[in-house]
Amino acid sequence: MLRTILTILQVISAFAIVGLVLLQRGKGADAGAGFGAGASGTVFGARGATTGLSRMTAVFAAIFMLNSLFLTYLFQRDVRVQPTSLLDQVPVSTTAPAPAQTAPVTAPAPAPDANAVPVPAEPVERPAPKP
């Protein structure tokens, strides 16, 4: 229940930050005020909406960051409690398996010498062909 409420608060604060940033005018917007484009900025007063929107953005940013840390803490605590793999859920047997029978180890055949002269095979006696 707490995670659901905090997740909803996270989404709302994210959308609020995006909306507030989009409502604010950039630094280059002041140049257009000299040509008559700044008339819509008088709705928020002589100083403009910069201070109010900036403060609200900072408040929502602080809520977003603190909420992110708290949600990370909650989800990390749940990960440590749950098993991490299927092997952690399998019961471990206490009996040890019997040792396997191994064949005796024999020494490998020696490698042929590169300088050795090959010995010809002994001639095989073949029967004489019949006429």
Tell me the residue range of the domain where 70 lies. 1-26+48-82
Assigned domain for 74 exists: yes
Of the candidates 18, 125, 106, which has an alpha carbon nearest to the alpha carbon of residue 61?
18
DSSP for the chain, please give it: -HHHHHHHHHHHHHHHHHHHHHHSPPGGGHHHHTTTGGGGGGGG-SS-SHHHHHHHHHHHHHHHHHHHHHHHHHHHHHHHHS-SSGGGTSPPP-SPPPPPP-PPP-PPPPPPPTTPPPPPPPPPP-PPPP-
Q: What is the pLDDT of residues 74-94, one digit of tens each?
A: 888 766 666 567 776 777 777
Higher pLDDT, 47 or 26: 26
Q: How many domains does the chain have?
A: 1
Assigned domain for 109 exists: no
Assigned domain for 104 exists: no
Assigned domain for 97 exists: no
User: Are 64 and 10 contacting, i.e. CB atoms less than 8 angstroms apart?
Assistant: yes
The reported pTM is 0.47
Assigned domain for 38 exists: no
Reading the block at residue 74, the tokens are 């909650």
Assigned domain for 10 exists: yes
Assigned domain for 7 exists: yes
Assigned domain for 108 exists: no
The answer, yes or no, to whether residue 42 has pLDDT greater than 60, is: no
